[in-house]
Amino acid sequence: MMQRRDFFRSTAGIGLTSLALEAVEGCSALRKEDWPSPDDPRYWRRIREQFSIPTGEAYFNVGTLGPRPRRVTDAVVDHMREIEKTIARYDYRPEHPEYIAGYRKQEELRAKVASLINVSGRELALLQNATMGSNFIANGLDLQPDDEVLLTDQEHQGNRGGWELREKRGGIRVRKLPIGTPPSDPDAVLRVFREAMGPRTKVIDVPHITSKLGIVMPVGPICEMARAHDVFSVIDGAQAVGQLHVDVKAIGCDAYVTSPHKWLLAPVGTGVLFVAEHRLKDVWATLASGNWNNYEPADGAFRLMQFGTANLSLLAGFDAALEFHKRIGPERIERRIAELANRLREGLKTIDRARIYSATHPAMTCGIVTWGIEGIGGPALMDELWTRKKIRVRSQDDKMVRQSVHFYNSPDEIDATLEVARALGRG
């Protein structure tokens, strides 16, 4: 059984693995300490101490960008320093540890990511963000003029831009289906898609969790419907992986994209694209380098990660972030987020002028709570939270803020939010 003091001991790595590991383990204070049990509130305080955000500042904008535990940043920086020191020894032979990303297969890290989301490493391409993955699908599929792609009317720009570009260049039709702001229940969303499907529908691409309101979509049933009509299904999981315990195989989609630099707390500039084994042949490479035409079954989606020289050190940090996430445990993280977000939702419901704009159906809620106070603009509310309590949320438009609740947040930070909301809500 894992000793608690081994909490952050990493086991896999990237090229210069041992160096990244030294960075992770180099914090001797941590190594010697015993960790409290996860049921002990001190456990979560200790978790919070792993981040560089100063005490007294509360960060609730992981929906835009995750903060990194210090050891993740250390893994990146130490890896970069080591490369700078030893670059003259780098002879580029295959047996030498690699110094750049963008050329080799990264099989070890792909397998680690794969085990987190229950797919095979062959089905994954490591990219730089979700936008890249979405674009690779939008550009990579063979579609005919008038073929139809169904999206929601609540896509993030990174997930709709590729389709819009392709529509403008000639050919496909993109339909953005209104799903409700928010939808009343998952069946209402399913009905919208069922009614919109027709003989020309070739692709359905929806978010796992919408960006602005944090609506958890019924992705499993949507993909089942797509499968029944031989429609290619794409799920934009930028807001899901790291927040929910995501099982991509169970969802049953053909492609899934995510940005680990959000909820998984990985270095900025990391992305993942999954393409199901049986669909790999249907996706052309968009960025082509030496392996664009490599259809070897064992290499799988390697063909889709041909972006040229890139920063390998980010992958050392990605590895450390995965380790951090796994040591806490995806289920425990999901439970903690639900507890904190419920506390926020329940508190807001008791304030007269507070409005929750996120979905309230229990199957559609998550750590993203988008809310407002009647009569106060979104940017003004964002500023009030910062000025009064050093709480960072993100304003979404003229009336709301998006509060992304993660495991490192605390009940006290939620209560401080409610205190501000109460003061403004009765004014």
Q: Which residues bind ligand PLP (CB under 6 A)?
A: 129-131, 156, 158-159, 207, 211, 236, 238-239, 259
Note whether 175 and 202 are within 8 A (CB).
Answer: no
Q: How far is the CB of 208 from ligand PLP (least distance, A)?
A: 8
Looking up tokens 């030498």 gives 96
Nearer to ligand PLP, 158 or 162 (CB): 158
Q: How far is the CB of 291 from ligand PLP (least distance, A)?
A: 23
Nearer to ligand PLP, 236 or 323 (CB): 236
Q: Which amino acid, 240?
A: A
Nearer to ligand PLP, 158 or 242 (CB): 158
Q: How far is the CB of 158 from ligand PLP (least distance, A)?
A: 3
Q: How far is the CB of 216 from ligand PLP (least distance, A)?
A: 12
Contacts of 379 (CB under 8 A, 6+ apart): 395, 398
Nearest-CA neighbor of 268 among 281, 259, 258, 280?
A: 259
Q: How far is the CB of 149 from ligand PLP (least distance, A)?
A: 16
Nearer to ligand PLP, 267 or 372 (CB): 267
The 3 state secondary structure assigned to 14-68 is CCCHHHHHHHHHCCHHHHHCCCCCCCCHHHHHHHHCCECCCCCCEECECCCCCCC
Looking up tokens 């550009």 gives 139
| Adjacent-strand bridge partners of 58 | 391
Q: How far is the CB of 236 from ligand PLP (least distance, A)?
A: 5
- Phi, psi at 418, each rounded to 5°: -65, -35
Nearer to ligand PLP, 240 or 320 (CB): 240
Note whether 319 and 75 are within 8 A (CB).
Answer: yes
Note whether 130 and 136 are within 8 A (CB).
Answer: no
Distance CA 253, CA 208 (A): 11
Cis-peptide, bond into residue 182, ω within 30° of zero:
yes
Q: How far is the CB of 93 from ligand PLP (least distance, A)?
A: 34
Distance CA 240, CA 208 (A): 6
Nearer to ligand PLP, 211 or 311 (CB): 211
Nearer to ligand PLP, 10 or 129 (CB): 129
Q: How far is the CB of 314 from ligand PLP (least distance, A)?
A: 13
Q: How far is the CB of 272 from ligand PLP (least distance, A)?
A: 11
Q: In this structure, which long-range contacts are made by residues 255-260, counting pairs with CB atoms below 8 Å and at least 24 apart in sequence?
A: 255/133, 255/137, 255/279, 255/283, 256/117, 256/208, 257/130, 257/133, 257/134, 257/137, 257/159, 258/130, 258/133, 259/129, 259/130, 259/131, 260/113, 260/318, 260/321
Nearer to ligand PLP, 172 or 238 (CB): 238
Q: How far is the CB of 239 from ligand PLP (least distance, A)?
A: 5
Nearer to ligand PLP, 10 or 243 (CB): 243
Nearer to ligand PLP, 259 or 313 (CB): 259
Q: In this structure, which long-range contacts are made by residues 361-365, counting pairs with CB atoms below 8 Å and at least 24 apart in sequence?
A: 361/183, 361/184, 361/185, 361/186, 363/185, 363/186, 363/216, 363/218, 364/182, 364/183, 364/185, 364/186, 364/215, 364/216, 364/217, 365/214, 365/216, 365/341
